[in-house]
Amino acid sequence: MKLNPFILSLSLVLLSSCGSEPGDQAHYDKALENGKSANKELRRCQKYMEAWLEYADPVSGLFHGRMTRILDSEIALTSRIGHLPVSYSFSREDYVDKKANMESIIFGASEYVKDGLLPLTEYLGPSPWSERMIAITDDVWAHAPVQTEFGALPSLNVEVNGEQLQVLSRLYWMTGKQKYLEWAIRLGDYYLLGENHPTRDFEALRLNDHGCEIVSGLCELYATVHFAMPGKKEKYREAVHEMLDRILEVGRNKHGLFYVSVNPKTGEILEEKVRDNWGYNYNGYYTVYLLDGEEKYRDALLLAFSHLGNYRNYDWETGSADGFADAIEGCLNLYNREPLPEVEAWLDSETRVMWSLQWQNQGTTLHPWREDLIAGAVPDGQTLHISLRSEEKWEGRLAFDTPRSVQNMNLPLDWPRINQFPEWYVVTPGKKYRVTLNGSRRGTVYSGEDLARGLALKLTPGELLRIRVTEV
């Protein structure tokens, strides 16, 4: 059965290296093990999509047909004020709320853009989904209702504004349009240069879901002005470092994980439990470490990493799988930058708990995919070891991941960010790679463009194919 491309795109990502010599059989054995695990989860994703399609609404067509038709239906049915969407009632074939509430509409629009459309754009690049994202964002700011000394803002809700900081920072690089940077700077000035500083002026700062967005958002803007407006970055520097330092001082437990809520002015812990969004906060810390070289921000992350063993099968969100998803996603983005063995072990154990282990193929994809295909990969420096096996005869392509942060988003730095699709073993246009099959001494040299399009391969029933890829 052919895997839906949308589900395939949600199922890409990694497992890390073994410390053996290049070409060691252990790499291929581990890659095969990874492939078996990834195959199970790809099959679960396929069944998940098929199950949802059983609930297709016969009138609207939502959850029915190809993905672009779903998007077309969503736009037609939910857009209420310009491009701004609202909740739609299938039973009444009308909006859920009879009266439009702008605060609620902007909140929902911001969530849809940042948690739904932005990650698709990170992976796909320009598409109908990115067009929807841009249209909604433009209307969020066209209807921004909150007047401040820095200009109109969409909300006073820190979650909305944090989401907008992330979206606008990436849209600026993706489109090159100055308006997105100008809107983001309005928010940056409001929180960093005015009287609304998250740790100097807030009496309650939530570091879990619904509050952590502002920390990451301000750090993404800081990264953007680092490259686009260095003078503005210097104006923000002290305030950004003050925010991060104070959170480290009063906002985390002895293991380096963040409390739900604190009073940053007094240092009082308002809610002591740690929650699933710790990695999202550390995205911001690691970004500022990359920009300013502040080792204490990297050290803070490494402290948390060193204590993850205390949080196996941890109840992040009162039994909700969403808690595991957020904890794993946040950790995965950072593990991409700091691939420590103990973190790999934690990711493996926790994703098994959540039944969604989807990160063991280093971003490689098979076209066409079938349920009987096993494909796993293990990196070793600039070399990638891949094991492929098929129960039945198969012919197709093995495609490799590319530097999407540059190609799709035009980012000047691949900083860790919420809702990104991490890049693992990427093939770069203009570079060359030697590919050997089953231990052959000769191999064949391919360009990065060739590997991105995919290696043409054939498998006989039960054949185990070992592939070694090395940059030359």
More confident: 282 or 422: 282
Helices (H) and strands (E) in the chain, counts: 16, 17
CB-CB contact of 153 with 186 (8 Å): yes
> Given strand 205-206, what is the order of strands in its sheet?
205-206, 259-262, 269-274
**Fold match between domain 5-51+365-471 and domain 111-354:** no
Which residue, 103, 102, 136, 105, is CA-closest to 121? 136
pLDDT number for residue 90:
87
- Architecture, CATH, for domain 111-354: Alpha/alpha barrel (1.50)
Q: Is the peptide bond before 416 cis (omega within 30 degrees of 0)?
A: no
pLDDT tens digits, 187-245:
999 999 999 999 999 999 999 988 899 999 999 999 999 999 999 999 999 999 999 99
pLDDT number for residue 68:
84
Residues of the chain with pLDDT > 90, as a percent, come to: 73
Domain regions of the chain by residue span: 5-51+365-471, 111-354
Assign domain 5-51+365-471 to a CATH class: mainly beta
Q: Decide if pLDDT at 9 tops 60.
A: no
pLDDT number for residue 76:
95
More confident: 248 or 2: 248
pLDDT tens digits, 108-162:
999 999 999 999 999 989 999 999 999 999 999 999 999 999 999 999 999 999 9
Q: Decide if pLDDT at 55 tops 90.
A: no
Q: Across all residues in the chain, what is the average pLDDT?
A: 89
pLDDT tens digits, 401-444:
999 999 999 999 999 999 888 899 999 999 999 999 998 878 99
pLDDT number for residue 370:
87
Distance CA 184, CA 221 (A): 7
Please state the rounded mean pLDDT for residues 84-96: 92
pLDDT-wise least confident of 61-70, 160-169, 363-372? 61-70
pLDDT number for residue 66:
65
Confidence of residue 10 (pLDDT cuts 50, 70, 90): very low
